A and B are shown apart, each in its own frame.
Chain A
Amino acid sequence: MITIEELKRIKEEQRPILEKRLIEQGNVNINEDGSIVLNGDYYKKQVRIALKNCGIIDPNNIKEYIAVDGYFALANCLINKKAKDIIEDMKASGLRGRGGAGFPTGRKWETAFLYDADQKYMICNADEGDPGAFMDRSILENDPHSVLEGMAIGGYSIGADKGFIYVRAEYPLAVRRLRAAIDQAKELGLLGNNILGTGFNFDIELRLGSGAFVCGEGTALIESIEGKRGMPRTKIYRTAHKGLWEKPTIINNVETFANVPVIFQKGVDWFRSIGTEKSPGTKVFALVGKVENAGLVEVPMGTTLREIVFDIGGGTQNGKEFKSVQTGGPSGGCIPANLIDTSVDFESLDKIGSIMGSGGMVVMDENTCMVDIARYFLDFTVDESCGKCVPCREGTKRMLETLDKIVSGKGEEEDIEKLESLSETITLGSLCGLGQTAANPVITTLKYFRDEYEAHIQDKKCPAGACVDLVEYFITDKCIGCGACARACPVDCISGAKKELHVIDQDRCIKCGACMEACPPKISAVIKR
């Protein structure tokens, strides 16, 4: 059994070793207050709480985690705080769930804390399934102990002695690192029985997800751990009262848990000093798409989209015109350029029709077709719908069919209205969050980029030039008749005599764009229109 003295001794022993290694590596800055941050402009503009150890400590070595004050928050909670105090602190911190909905974590824990039961469970949702998202994966791979420590603190506060981490099987490295971390923590006595001699027992087991996106939904996740088909349950009872095996259960996201130890290390006031009044703290985003510096970005809540996309992300690639940023993954919305000064917090994003979600952020430029983007996200939802309830199972399928029609130039006047009406029904009628938010990409693109839909339907044109069926390659009179395009065309549909204007037979053109590439750059006679 480890004691607090022993924990301190490990820290003192390991800290100089860690610092020496980091100084040799040369990519970090060790501040006066002992905090360690990664060098470079990209990181300078960020405030890292959940990611604070990522890229700094060795995730395979629990001692390095201890060297950066790891497990001291747990020790302090177990030794000096009552369960109720922890709940009060969590409520006061204002921490809101980072898995999507932003529910206040302290209030959630309190519900389970107040409910008497012989057994309670703490679950970490590590099923991260949004396309393009990798915030949680990064935390699990680079700082697994922060999640374990957060879960143990939560377990102590609600009275759970058992935790599960439901992690995607597609994250093998994360799984390995978690396994190793759990083993090391058990070996040192920071998990298991009688932790730090306080009599508190807490054990954590891994459960591998089946790869279905919907299993990230809390009730489906519970069904899946119970060995059933991962389908969301209707909420007759709250999971905080009757969850896993009918016992009080708390489910929190990876990033949520990673915030917990830091709150207890640095205090509630410190935490509240970051972010906004209603959304304290930071949020990690996976900045991807047509942006110069893609990567993980952790910023205080309330930072504007402009600061994230332009100041940190460096704006769009190749100087293309910025068009939109999509937040919240398949449940989120597309935000137009004129709302780029929106501050990123739960309320502000909600107000403009998008959501915070788990932190996906996709940047789009002038070449992105917004109808096609809506189609892309809906395609994902249609594939991932569990099939249980009618509006989601049938409705998203019909919406996708309509969008397919539109992007292939077969859209009809009434399709927009049909999309709007179905969006409403799916949003209002679906059982779980997947269906309830599935229409968001369509709703927001219809709201902010309606002209693009109309161009597809009325003019049979894709303004961004992205929808293959709606563009044509055309040779302008800049043509010098060199014949390069005709030789490149795989279906031989370009004709023209030497040194004379060449012409593309539009009926036979397969729109591969080979002609445009073949035309000498100085001439650039082939255009897409």
Chain B
Amino acid sequence: MSDVRLMIDGQEVVVSSETSILEAAKQIGIEIPALCYDPNLEIEAACRLCLVEIEGSNKLQTSCSTRVKEGMVVHTQSEKVVKTRKDILQLLLDSHPNDCLTCQKAGECLLQKYAYDYDLKFRVHDGAMRPQLLDTSSPYILKDNAKCILCGKCVKTCAQVSDRQVLTFAERGYETYIALDANQTLETSSCVSCNRCVTVCPVGALVDKRALGKLRSWDGSSRVINCKRCDYGCEFEIVSKDKKNIAVLAKPPTNGRPLCLKGRLNTELEYIDEPEVPYRKISGKFEETTWSKALSLDGLLEKFEKMDSLKGKTREE
């Protein structure tokens, strides 16, 4: 691993030869748009937004998957790059429902952000749109295929935990969509409601259903805490509004952290002022349950009481 020197948009940068152009640009404050890139996931180069022009080549290269080379001269905003990028974004918008008004993701949606950055709008046309396929079967996650831009991040993050691997690509071409197991729903599939996929989805195709209708991304204030349920200590965001904690949102899992439902419910119970009822999945069906059952505390609670009362007695004596 050696250091290389290159020019990006006229600025010089020195980075290790293993670095991607996208990361090198980031180091000097140049943000290259990307929808499918996530430093924690395998590189796919599927969205093609991060294309850049490298002097000496007529082609454009995806900056997420191209490593830097000594003497490289990169342009991230050349006319060709911007035209291609705009076309790609417009293609995504042309298949996307015009729903930003009520979309839970509004304000933190990357498609919305880039459309704003590149001054693009939804267009009315009589061509195909992605079919409306809304999966409302889970109390924890809402999956809206019509909004999916097929970046594949959810598939990859789900597969990072070896016993999950619930999400897959199905069909091909324009008909491609993200499926659960062999075409199951969130409820009937082997999904464990960990919300990993929700944390990486750049658009409103996978959202946290327990936050639905309660807050907008710019609402309230939030702080990040570590889950106390196990040693991984996954991160959750506690969102508060009007001096009340109203939602717990899973943060993207890093450093091999798995995220799990129990941890999330544990955190809800601990921080949320009025948590919603918990649900458990029992042989492919979500059922309302009690907090003690949801957190597997049934036996423990009795023991707490027993021990505490014993303790009381000893003191009295």
Q: Known: A398-B91, A422-B87. Is A390-B48 also a contact (CB below 8 A)?
A: yes
Q: Which of B44, B47, B59, B127 contacts A401 (CB 8 A)?
A: B127
> Chain A contact residues: over half helix, strand or loop, or mixed?
helix
B172 contacts the other chain (CB 8 A) = yes
A382 to B171 Cα, complex, angstroms: 12
Q: Which residue of A lies closest to B65 (CB)?
A: A234
Q: Known: A236-B65, A394-B92, A395-B91. Is A384-B83 also a contact (CB below 8 A)?
A: no
Contact at A401–B128, with CB atoms within 8 Å? yes
B104 contacts the other chain (CB 8 A) = no
Shortest B172–chain A CB gap in Å is: 5
B118 contacts the other chain (CB 8 A) = no
Stretch of A45-53, A153-161, A271-279, A428-436 on the interface side: A428-436
Shortest A421–chain B CB gap in Å is: 7
Which residues of chain B are near A393, meaning CB under 8 Å?
150, 173-174, 176
Which residues of chain A are near B83, meaning CB under 8 Å?
424-425
Q: Known: A389-B47, A401-B127. Is A382-B174 also a contact (CB below 8 A)?
A: yes
Shortest A505–chain B CB gap in Å is: 29
Residues A157-214 near B (CB distance < 8 A):
212, 214
Shortest B183–chain A CB gap in Å is: 15
Contact at A389–B46, with CB atoms within 8 Å? yes
A281 contacts the other chain (CB 8 A) = no
A460 contacts the other chain (CB 8 A) = no
Q: Known: A386-B172, A387-B174, A389-B47. Is A428-B91 also a contact (CB below 8 A)?
A: no
Q: Which residue of A lies closest to B152 (CB)?
A: A388
A147 to B150 Cα, complex, angstroms: 39
Contact at B172–A385, with CB atoms within 8 Å? yes
Which residues of chain A are near B171, meaning CB under 8 Å?
387
B210 contacts the other chain (CB 8 A) = no
Q: Known: A236-B65, A384-B173, A397-B128. Is A391-B60 also a contact (CB below 8 A)?
A: no
Q: Which of B60, B128, B152, B175 contacts A429 (CB 8 A)?
A: B60
Residues B149-164 near A (CB distance < 8 A):
149-150, 152
B169 contacts the other chain (CB 8 A) = yes
A227 to B266 Cα, complex, angstroms: 39
Among A229, A421, A429, the one with the most B-chain Cβ atoms within 10 Å of its Cβ is A429
Q: Which residue of A lies closest to B64 (CB)?
A: A234
**Interface size of A in residues (CB-CB distance below 8 Å):** 31
Which residues of chain A are near B59, meaning CB under 8 Å?
428
Which residues of chain B are near A226, meaning CB under 8 Å?
none
B281 contacts the other chain (CB 8 A) = no
A383 contacts the other chain (CB 8 A) = yes
Which residues of chain B are near A398, meaning CB under 8 Å?
91, 94, 127
Contact at A394–B91, with CB atoms within 8 Å? yes
Q: Known: A394-B91, A394-B95. Is A236-B174 also a contact (CB below 8 A)?
A: no
29 contacts between A and B (CB under 8 A): A214-B172, A231-B169, A234-B62, A234-B65, A236-B67, A382-B174, A383-B173, A387-B150, A387-B172, A388-B46, A388-B152, A389-B47, A389-B48, A390-B48, A391-B91, A393-B176, A394-B94, A395-B87, A397-B174, A401-B127, A425-B88, A425-B91, A428-B51, A428-B60, A429-B87, A429-B88, A431-B45, A431-B46, A431-B48
Beyond contacts A383-B173, A389-B46, A429-B48: 16 other A-B pairs, Cβ-Cβ < 8 A, are: A234-B65, A386-B172, A390-B92, A394-B95, A394-B174, A395-B87, A397-B127, A397-B174, A398-B91, A422-B87, A425-B83, A425-B87, A425-B91, A429-B60, A429-B88, A431-B48
In the A-B complex, list the 3 residue pairs whose CB atoms are closest, starting with the nearest.
A387-B176, A234-B45, A394-B91
